[in-house]
Amino acid sequence: PCALGLATPTAVMVGTGVGAANGLLIKGGAVLEEAHAVDTVVFDKTGTLTTGKAVLGDLVDLTGGKDDIHIGRPASLGSMTATKDNNTVLWLASCAEAGSEHPLAQAIVNHGRNTWGNDVICAKDGVIVSDYHVSPGEGVECK
């Protein structure tokens, strides 16, 4: 028991020291003890941990198995139903994000431009983006 009383803190100290030498700051032994249960890590430092040139790699359906998604539109344009089989949601996201300077927004817009061409974004069906508002940490809202 005495050997473990010295070995464990020494191992933690050496581990945090090696991490620090490699640019990884660990707050303490408790963090290391909890880290064994981590199976996913999300980094939110665009341009620091990445090249800052995000691309849209995949579209994931988060509708919970619904066959279609109702999207509200101005009364003059009626309403639209976006099926999972088409790119309407991506097109609308491209239109909404076209006014944003955020690197992830630009990845969506660039994907839209690659899909439909530079001039097609927001020109489809006469949609005009207005009342654009950025909510930091949440995204954009527009009409």
Q: Which residues contact 29 (CB under 8 A, 6 or more apart)?
A: 9, 12, 16
Catalytic residue among 39, 44, 85, 119: 44
The answer to whether residues 36 and 30 touch, using CB atoms and an 8 Å cutoff, is no
Q: 109-120: per-residue pLDDT in tens?
A: 888 888 877 766
Residue 58: active-site member: no
Q: 27-50: per-residue pLDDT in tens?
A: 878 888 888 889 888 776 666 677
Q: Residue 103 above 50 pLDDT?
A: yes
In this structure, the strands spanning 80-83 and 139-141 are unpaired
- The pTM assigned to this predicted structure is 0.52
Q: How far is CA 21 from CA 12, 26, 36, 115, in A?
A: 14, 11, 21, 45
pLDDT at 73: 47
